[in-house]
Structure 1
């Protein structure tokens, strides 16, 4: 597994934890990093931290886009895994112009297939592609 894929998967796990626990994100992040120290190797940790902190810091903008383009789905009703995979991807759309959106979508779909339900890949692909197309991300 590549370093960026590992960072994305760990970011999903951390955000999932924060979403379920509803605790202080800074303390939760510190605890998550301690518990996953062996996975957060030097090549993975910086991108992981960028993703997690970026999603947390930009959550209003990210959730607004997610809410706007997820037809018939309120964010609160989405599967927690799918919701957080898409949050990471939308953060990449917004703040990581060096990553092609096609790569971001593909990574999100693959992670969704691995951690989500059998419908996660298609759902994630549909919502992210709609955001990419209608918001003009390249």
Structure 2
């Protein structure tokens, strides 16, 4: 059985994919993806939180991706991989999701929706981010304590 939060992450990924590939508004894309899955109000709220968080912080998140995946420019990355990373990085840096959970969920989404190499890419990028900032304990940093600099 798929958890409520995994369903919400799937809907968020589908929403972000739709936004990346079309000119649809975020609100319309959220309605489309959450209606297709018949999500509960709690799952819809979590989906909206993820989508809004990613969109609000997209440029910062994309800079982090670019720093930790220099061989894979964000614009040239597959839409799926790019948005899986965006959701996971948002959850790690700005949400209350434990780091280990965010990474595991991102890898599972990559296995379901990505290519054969997607899980390895996702794990590598997220693992590098966590290692760089000393969060190998997989616990979320205290608010305001972990704001990664985009400089070396």
- TM-score > 0.5 by shorter chain: yes
| 1:41 CA displacement | 1.5
2:100 pairs, out of 102, 105, 110, with 102
1:122 pairs, out of 110, 120, 123, with 120
| Structure of larger gyration radius | 2
**Which residue of 2 is the match for residue 45 of structure 1?**
44
> More relative contact order in 1 or in 2 (CA 8 Å, sep 6+)?
1
| 1:34 CA displacement | 4.4
| 1:42 CA displacement | 1.4
- Runs of 4+ in structure 1 deviating by more than 4 angstroms, as ranges, are none
Which runs of structure 2 are paired with 1:26-105 in the superposition (5 Å)? 26=26, 29-34=27-32, 36-37=34-35, 39-96=38-95, 98-105=96-103
Do 2:110 and 2:118's aligned partners in 1 also have CA atoms closer than 8 Å? Answer: yes
What SS does structure 1 have at the residue aligned with 2:83?
A: helix
Alignment RMSD (CA, Å): 1.6
Q: Distance in 2 between the 1:131 and 1:35 partners? A: 29
Unpaired runs of 5+ residues, structure 1, are: none
Higher percent of residues as helix: 1
Q: Distance in 2 between the 1:31 and 1:20 partners? A: 11
Unpaired runs of 5+ residues, structure 2, are: 140-152
Q: Distance in 1 between the 2:59 and 2:48 partners? A: 18
Q: Distance in 2 between the 1:60 and 1:99 partners? A: 21
Do 2:20 and 2:79's aligned partners in 1 also have CA atoms closer than 8 Å? Answer: yes
Superposition TM-score, scaled by structure 2 size: 0.82
Q: Deviations over 1:50-104 (max 9, x none)?
A: 00000000111111101110031100111110000000000001111x3211110
